């Protein structure tokens, strides 16, 4: 029995890894084509290739549940197509035991996904994004268009064109308002570095706005006192989908303290926390297909069904998330409802299959 368990596990694990490899290669090709249009200044083909390779784990992380589902379908489907699954069941191995054998490689992917999302993806996403922006040159950083990072502190709104992981800001814009929401000061700076618990801005232009008069001052360097530190820059520099679980929790608390809406970060927090459970639910549905309605269909049909189920699940989560915030049933329930439905469907199909 142990040999049979090991054989099922290795078949499923090899299929999952093959699916991940194919997805990674396709993703790198599409990412390369997408970046070719953005080549400018020092951002040439070598820099594009480096950026694509550096950012691939970040994008691949989002494919883990789908890759696990398709891999389980492909692995068990291959055994079913070769009548090996029938022979295994005829040898007295129960459906439950086959299910447990197939779930072990899936569990490995769940743990790998958690580690990747918590410790690897946040750092790589920050590094790759900063590298791309800095490589595109001075004009891209200093202009006030395109991608940037926004941050609010009290009545001050800040925008940074690029943020380096070591705590260097590029292309700073700051807008200061009074208690009546009237714009008081606009500050532009080319660069800022963190020194002795405060920021030192370089090439600063400061515009003071009064009811009937506007004045402009320029400084080579100027100190900037703010609660923003290199440690919490990671909150500003990353989108919610790429933040670590711990970072999402602390940032949602921080936003509440600032009187801001942290719903987007709570949604991402619960999505990441529940990702192992959602992967389990998708795999359970996939396995139920093998023993149930799809035990005699071709491999192509199984893979198509797996992709379809995965997309339906993803769209459901993406739709329920904002709906949960609008209608007030919460970020947790918006993420857990599709999981419960998937587990229910999978258990029902397995029970019918006997």
Would you say 288 and 345 are in contact if contact means Cβ atoms under 8 Å apart?
yes
Closest CA to 19 of 89, 62, 91, 68: 68
Q: Could you tell me the pTM of the whole model?
A: 0.75
Structure tokens at 339: 């999981």
141-171 confidence digits (pLDDT tens): 555 455 678 888 888 999 998 887 677 888 8
The structural domains of the chain, with segments of one domain joined by +, span 2-135+274-353, 146-238
DSSP 3-state of 160: strand
Instruction: Determine the pLDDT at residue 217.
Output: 93
Closest CA to 204 of 172, 158, 164, 160: 172
181-222 confidence digits (pLDDT tens): 889 999 999 999 988 778 999 999 999 998 878 899 999 999
Cα 159 to chain centroid distance, Å, stands at: 22
Instruction: Determine the pLDDT at residue 350.
Output: 79
Q: How confident is the model at residue 354 (pLDDT cuts 50, 70, 90)?
A: low
Structure tokens at 73: 């379908």
Cα 190 to chain centroid distance, Å, stands at: 30
pLDDT averaged over every residue in the chain: 83
Q: How confident is the model at residue 301 (pLDDT cuts 50, 70, 90)?
A: confident
């Amino acid at each position: 029995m142990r040999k049979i368990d090991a054989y099922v596990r290795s078949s499923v694990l090899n299929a999952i890894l093959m699916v991940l490899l194919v997805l990674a290669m396709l993703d790198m090709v599409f990412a390369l084509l997408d970046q070719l249009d953005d080549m400018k200044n020092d951002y040439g083909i070598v820099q594009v290739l480096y950026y694509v390779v550096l950012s691939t784990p970040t994008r691949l992380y989002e494919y883990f549940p789908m890759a696990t589902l398709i891999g389980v379908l492909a692995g068990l489907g291959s055994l079913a197509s070769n009548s090996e699954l029938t022979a295994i069941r005829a040898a007295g191995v129960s459906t439950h035991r086959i299910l447990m054998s197939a779930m072990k490689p899936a569990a490995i992917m769940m743990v790998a996904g958690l580690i990747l999302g918590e410790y690897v993806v946040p750092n790589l996403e920050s590094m790759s994004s900063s590298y791309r922006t800095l490589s595109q040159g001075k004009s891209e950083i200093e202009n006030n268009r395109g991608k940037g990072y926004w941050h609010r502190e009290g009545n001050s709104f800040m925008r940074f064109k690029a943020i380096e992981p070591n705590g260097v800001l590029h292309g700073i814009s700051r807008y200061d308002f009074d208690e009546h929401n009237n714009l008081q000061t606009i500050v532009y700076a080319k660069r800022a570095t963190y020194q002795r618990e405060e920021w030192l801005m370089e090439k600063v232009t400061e515009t003071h706005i009064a009811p009937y008069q506007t004045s402009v001052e320029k400084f080579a360097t100027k100190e900037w006192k703010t609660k923003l530190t290199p440690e919490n820059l990671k909150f500003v520099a990353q989108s919610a989908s790429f933040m670590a679980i711990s970072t999402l929790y602390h940032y949602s608390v921080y936003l509440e303290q600032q009187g801001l809406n942290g719903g987007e970060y709570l949604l991402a927090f619960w999505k990441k926390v529940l990702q192992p459970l959602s992967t389990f639910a998708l795999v359970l549905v996939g396995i139920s297909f093998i023993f149930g309605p799809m035990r005699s269909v071709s491999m192509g049909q199984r893979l198509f069904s797996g992709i379809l189920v995965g997309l339906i699940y993803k769209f459901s989560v993406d739709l329920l998330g904002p709906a949960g915030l609008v209608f007030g049933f919460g970020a947790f329930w918006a993420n857990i409802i599709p999981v419960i439905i998937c587990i229910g469907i999978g258990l029902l199909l397995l029970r019918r299959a006997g």
